[in-house]
Structure 1
Amino acid sequence: MNAAANLPDDIEALKAIILAQQEQNARLEALVAAFRQAMFGRKSEKIDPDQFELALEDIETAIARVEAEGEANPLVTPTRTSTPRRANRGSLPRHLPRIEEVIEPESTLCDCGCARHAIGEDVSERLDIVPAQFRVIVTRRPKYACRSCEGGIVQAPAPAHLIPGGMPTGATVAHVIVSKYADHLPLYRQVQIYSRQGIDLDRSTLAAWVGRAAFELMPVYDALLANLKRSGKLFMDETTAPVLDPGRRKTKTGYFWALARDDRPWGGDDPPGVAFTYAPGRSGQYAEDILKDFTGTLQVDGYAGYNRLLKRPAQDIRLAYCWAPARRKLHEVAQTGTTPIADEGLKQIAALYQVEKDIRGQSPEARRAARQEWSKPTLDKFETWLTAHRARVSAKSPLGEALKYIAKYWDGLTRFLDDGRIEIDSNAVERTIRPIALNRKNALFAGHDAGRRTGRCWRR
């Protein structure tokens, strides 16, 4: 039916419809502009990826709401901002069970009195979710005795349980662990979820389950850590882990030390892995303790605590430094305004990263050859540029501090030129730390140092 046929004849009513249409269009235009800015506009290097995704979610939600309001108004022509996304439409995973629903017409009789025959059908697929279901596993162990003699009673032995005498199955404990450490749901929130199903569990009960499972998995953690330290090239980084300090009525700062391996950029045979160790401080002594029995190249940021590793009597550790902090310092200077010196430094670093992008996945020998051919001339030019501008810029200015940082760690920053296994930065380990930040936001703090030590077992 023509939409114009539904329009009223009254001028004032027509004006109201036009105003409503204009208001909807204006709201959508503002939301689309915000969406484009979030997607394609200039963003700070330090933006939190999770905050960025949250902004996009809120904008897309608002757009969908405005469109739904327009569809609900029969006198307003719905305005679509773009072609609706068809992601996953008709291609849902084949392993999911299908429940078929056939909707028949009220009558298949034709006006002539004959029965209509099926000539085809329209099929659509929608994703349906069944909320988590709880069930109780009842285990019966019958006892058998002989009526003819007193030969004793026979009964099957009780199966081993992860929590002796406890109610959870291994799957239940695994679900609690995944929810806490992978989905970042603190135990008190899980208790609330279970209570909606009529299952009353105390938070301390779930904590006891997690602690017991951590004890059982400690051999796995120790084996993982030992396996990583047998590698010749590792990454290391640390991040804060607030811990409650009841005596002082506030939190204290602990640290998760991440030791990671990722040999995929140069085609190594060892699988990627990461092990976290909790320590109550950031002293280099903790890094030295963690790296006991490790020899090889360690890629880190510019934290001075790692220098302690160079003082080991065997001198069996080389430090390769990360270009990301160096770039970040210049980027922060460039953000303050017209800074041609910082801009030039960023362009030269970008050239280094372009080479790394081109050689990713190649063998160490090929990567080293490409770096010698393309990256070394750039770094030679960069070193000359660095020396010249350090002599001109105040050492106490932000730009001077950035240049001083690069000069201080120059040998470690250029170490990747001679070893194809070394990356230009340590982003591989920084990515593994990101989930800890999410958990830190949700849980705020750990209740005790021992709780943080328990948490290391789940962070892979």
Structure 2
Amino acid sequence: MDTSLAHENARLRALLQTQQDTIRQMAEYNRLLSQRVAAYASEINRLKALVAKLQRMQFGKSSEKLRAKTERQIQEAQERISALQEEMAETLGEQYDPVLPSALRQSSARKPLPASLPRETRVIRPEEECCPACGGELSSLGCDVSEQLELISSAFKVIETQRPKQACCRCDHIVQAPVPSKPIARSYAGAGLLAHVVTGKYADHLPLYRQSEIYRRQGVELSRATLGRWTGAVAELLEPLYDVLRQYVLMPGKVHADDIPVPVQEPGSGKTRTARLWVYVRDDRNAGSQMPPAVWFAYSPDRKGIHPQNHLAGYSGVLQADAYGGYRALYESGRITEAACMAHARRKIHDVHARAPTYITTEALQRIGELYAIEAEVRGCSAEQRLAARKARAAPLMQSLYDWIQQQMKTLSRHSDTAKAFAYLLKQWDALNVY
């Protein structure tokens, strides 16, 4: 009996010592975690300030080459901000692991791994079948479970299709199964491989020459030219879906439009020029619609107004866009109603406020914020409910905003940045009230 008590006391003392060590490790871990989060926050704030500075530079006079460079810098900084925010979120949610020293611990995925993934269970049992301290019998105290995400890399395989031929013994008629259809005629590329190539290029931004190198390491020679031909063929195959998507997005009703610059290489020159991707969006979820949202993209080599005019030649309804002059011809016939974007108007005021905040810009943003708050409340309601709320609550605020800006314009120099931002909003006033 005394021996059993001695063993139990020893076990409890060891357990207490382990817990105390764990508490000390957790305290050190929390200290390092706080330092890491502070470093993330500092870098994010620095990058946000850089983005704001670059965005302000875009509004000044600059060459097309400089604007393209600035846009790339903004995109890179925003991507870095997103990555840091994800890392910081993971760091804040990570689990304490007493196995690793706190100074060496790395971030791990905090979100639960999808239950749909196949799982392989490995049970690691102690080598000892009895207590290594006293030789006593061991009893179960539970089980520590951890997960590790592993990747099974993609692999090529060759599908050999055999079509036996049979001949009639009586009349010599030959019978054979028809040739199965292929995505690309007279090509050995399977549908899965083609999908992988175009997804890598357009969704993962993986150029074809890099994909060619990856495939070469896997023992398959696929030249950049071959991958390019396949990509073009896939584009032709997808044209019917592209047309259906366009018809869906441009159904009569309401469409959002915008354009984004795209650097395009000039063949043989080693230089790039700025082309455009025109973005047309149908999304009525805010109005409680069950119709799925969709986006249709159209490419053009420049920003001439003829491009959106051609894209929207058969459309009728409301077009919500910025004040780009290329849209103006669309509104002349009355077939398309202009709805200006408050976000664009607000952004001009916000940019002035970010550079040199004043009580005027502060109040302007607060007044616009009250309109945004109403929209947040009615988001997801029916069109009738939203219209009623806008007429009863937003319309008086809009009129008050208009009167207030008109009053401020009397005191501002017309050459000031604030006056220019207000002038943009007033020029768009009728279109801003369409909503």
User: TM-score band (shorter)?
Assistant: 0.7 to 0.9
The residue correspondences of 1:97-112 to structure 2 (distance < 5 A) are 97-108=118-129
- Residue 162 of structure 2, aligned match among 124, 140, 155: 140
- Residue 302 of structure 2, aligned match among 266, 281, 285: 281
Question: Is 1:128 the counterpart of 2:150 in the alignment?
Answer: yes
In the aligned structure 1, how far is the partner of 2:33 from the partner of 2:110? 22
Question: Is 1:189 the counterpart of 2:218 in the alignment?
Answer: no
1:115 deviates by 8.2
- Residue 394 of structure 1, aligned match among 413, 416, 431: 413
In the aligned structure 1, how far is the partner of 2:302 from the partner of 2:145? 60
With over 3 angstroms needed to count, the CA separation of the structure-2 counterparts of 1:165 and 1:300, relative to structure 1, is: same
**Is the CA contact 1:232–1:297 (under 8 Å) kept in the aligned structure 2?**
yes
Unaligned runs of 5+ in 2: 1-13, 22-27, 56-73
What is the match of residue 432 of structure 1? none
**Is the CA contact 2:349–2:365 (under 8 Å) kept in the aligned structure 1?**
yes
1:127 deviates by 2.3
Q: Which amino acid aligns with 1:368?
A: L
With over 3 angstroms needed to count, the CA separation of the structure-2 counterparts of 1:43 and 1:136, relative to structure 1, is: same
With over 3 angstroms needed to count, the CA separation of the structure-2 counterparts of 1:221 and 1:134, relative to structure 1, is: same
In the aligned structure 1, how far is the partner of 2:30 from the partner of 2:113? 34
Deviates more, 1:265-274 or 1:108-117: 108-117
**Is the CA contact 1:25–1:79 (under 8 Å) kept in the aligned structure 2?**
no
In the aligned structure 1, how far is the partner of 2:356 from the partner of 2:30? 36
What is the match of residue 273 of structure 2? 252
* RCO comparison, higher one (Cα < 8 Å, 6+): 1
Cα deviation code 1:409-453 (max 9, x no counterpart): 11111211xxxxxxxxxxxxxxxxxxxxxxxxxxxxxxxxxxxxx
In the aligned structure 1, how far is the partner of 2:394 from the partner of 2:349? 19
What is the match of residue 385 of structure 2? 366
What is the match of residue 327 of structure 2? 306
What is the match of residue 370 of structure 2? 351
In the aligned structure 1, how far is the partner of 2:114 from the partner of 2:421? 50
In the aligned structure 2, how far is the partner of 1:167 from the partner of 1:161? 8
What is the match of residue 13 of structure 1? none
Question: Is 1:330 the counterpart of 2:353 in the alignment?
Answer: no
CA RMSD of aligned residues (A): 3.9
The residue correspondences of 1:19-38 to structure 2 (distance < 5 A) are 30-37=35-42
If the length of structure 1 is used for normalisation, what is the TM-score? 0.74
**Is the CA contact 1:331–1:342 (under 8 Å) kept in the aligned structure 2?**
yes
Q: Which amino acid aligns with 2:82?
A: E
Cα deviation code 1:85-127 (max 9, x no counterpart): 8833xx5332222212222333435789998686854444332
The residue correspondences of 1:55-134 to structure 2 (distance < 5 A) are 55-56=84-85, 78=102, 87-88=110-111, 91-108=112-129, 121-134=143-156
Give the count of matched residue pairs. Answer: 389
If the length of structure 2 is used for normalisation, what is the TM-score? 0.78
The residue correspondences of 1:34-45 to structure 2 (distance < 5 A) are 34-37=39-42, 43=48
1:80 deviates by 10
With over 3 angstroms needed to count, the CA separation of the structure-2 counterparts of 1:277 and 1:36, relative to structure 1, is: closer
1:332 deviates by 1.2
Unaligned runs of 5+ in 1: 7-22, 73-77, 417-460
In the aligned structure 2, how far is the partner of 1:85 from the partner of 1:196? 29
